[in-house]
Amino acid sequence: MSPIELATSDGTRLSEAQADAALAVRGMTVSYGQKPAVFSVDMTVPAGSMTAIIGPNGAGKSTLLKAALGVITPLAGTAQVFGQPVAQARARIAYVPQRASVDWDFPTRVLDVVLMGLYRELGLLGRLRGAHKAKAMECLERVGMQDFARRQIGQLSGGQQQRVFLARALAQNADLYLLDEPFAGVDAATEKAIIDVLQALRAEGKTVVAVHHDLSTVADYFDRVFLINTTRVAEGTVEQAFTPQRLQEAYGGRLATAQLGQTALGA
């Protein structure tokens, strides 16, 4: 199916500009059981942007990301990456799942985890060579973890675990980086280190999308916002979409108006 023929959920056709987007999600619906977690969501992430996906707990932020990646199978909808179906664009995507999604007592060392980011280019029977290890070390250096390469992963703090996951994504050498709550439960130094890496990626022309939960840092860290509460509430630049009115729509009564006024722009 060519991208031009792809119909969006509201019946309009995808324009050529949207087909060039780093990530274009159309009519995505995901359901665990009978109640949709994400319903008919369209999302367009321009190449070279840095987007925060925000919304209340259980709004479907992580689910949307996983469905777009094909990690979970959606009930309906499609996702395209740089105009190609996700399955054909894997080499251009890097993913940082939630830290809590894995067992940290797994018998592996920090360097081995980062090397997992190179498995795709290595193939089934390719040999791990010194060059691969050097590349993995370089990625660890970018997140300030080079001294921990030989540590067992169970000995890391939460922030260090998150940095290792980011290093693994860097090893994938992608154009689109998707991160699920990269700042959840990390220390201040790690948060700074991660945002520095992400902003450096954007400076290189890469596209960054992160599920984010801290409204107070949205305007500092990101240039675009995608507000979701099962359905799409707003999408656009921080100035357009990160407004008290839109946040109220997304969060409903769960966010005090005073808090909204402090965090959002245009208050």
Partner 1 sequence: MLWSALTLQLGYNATLVTLGAMLLGIAAGVTGTFLFLRKRALVSDAISHATLPGVGIAFIIMVALGGDGRSLLGLMLGSAASAWVGLLCIGALTRRTRLAEDAAIGAVLSVFFGIGIVLLTFIQTMSEGRQAGLEGFLLGSTAGMLYSDAVIIAVGGAVVLGAVIAFRRPLSAVAFDPEFAASSGLNVPRLDLIMMGLVMAITVVGLKIVGLILIVALLIIPPVTARFWSERVTGVLWVAGFVGGAAGFVGAALSAVAPALPTGPVIVLVLFSMFALSLLFAPARGVLAAVLKHLSFQRRVHIRQGLLALAQGQPIYEKLTLRLLRRAGLARADGVATTDGKARAAKALRDERRWQMARSREEFALAATFYDGLTEIEGVLTSDQIDELDRLIGPPTGVQV
The residues of the shown chain that bind partner 1, judged by CB under 8 A, are: 66, 69-71, 87, 90, 93, 95, 97, 101-103, 106-109, 112-113, 116-117, 119-120, 122, 124-125, 152, 168, 172, 178, 189
| 211 Cβ neighbours under 8 A, 6+ residues apart | 52, 53, 54, 61, 62, 65, 179, 180, 181
Nearer CB in complex with partner 1: 118/227: 118
Nearer CB in complex with partner 1: 108/199: 108
Supply the minimum distance, in Å, between the C-beta of residue 43 and partner 1: 17
Supply the minimum distance, in Å, between the C-beta of residue 16 and partner 1: 27
The residue among 93, 131, 137 whose CA lies nearest residue 114 is: 137
Nearer CB in complex with partner 1: 173/259: 173
Helix axes 158-171, 130-142, angle to 10 degrees: 130
Nearer CB in complex with partner 1: 115/225: 115
Question: What distances in angstroms separate CA 246 from CA 45, 63, 251, one per listed residue?
Answer: 19, 21, 9
Nearer CB in complex with partner 1: 19/71: 71
| 104 Cβ neighbours under 8 A, 6+ residues apart | 153, 154, 156, 161
Nearer CB in complex with partner 1: 66/212: 66
Supply the minimum distance, in Å, between the C-beta of residue 121 and partner 1: 10
What is the DSSP annotation of 23-72? EEEEEEEEEETTEEEEEEEEEEE-TT-EEEEE-STTSSHHHHHHHHHTSS
Nearer CB in complex with partner 1: 25/93: 93
Supply the minimum distance, in Å, between the C-beta of residue 100 and partner 1: 11
Backbone angles phi, psi at 46, to 5 degrees: -65, 145
Supply the minimum distance, in Å, between the C-beta of residue 245 and partner 1: 35
What b/e readout covers 65-80, taking b as 16+ CB neighbours within 10 angstroms?
bbbbbeeeebeebbbb
Supply the minimum distance, in Å, between the C-beta of residue 20 and partner 1: 22
Give the HSE-up count for residue 231: Cα atoms under 13 Å, Cβ half-sphere.
6
DSSP state of 109: B
CB distance 183 to 221 below 8 Å: no
Supply the minimum distance, in Å, between the C-beta of residue 260 and partner 1: 31
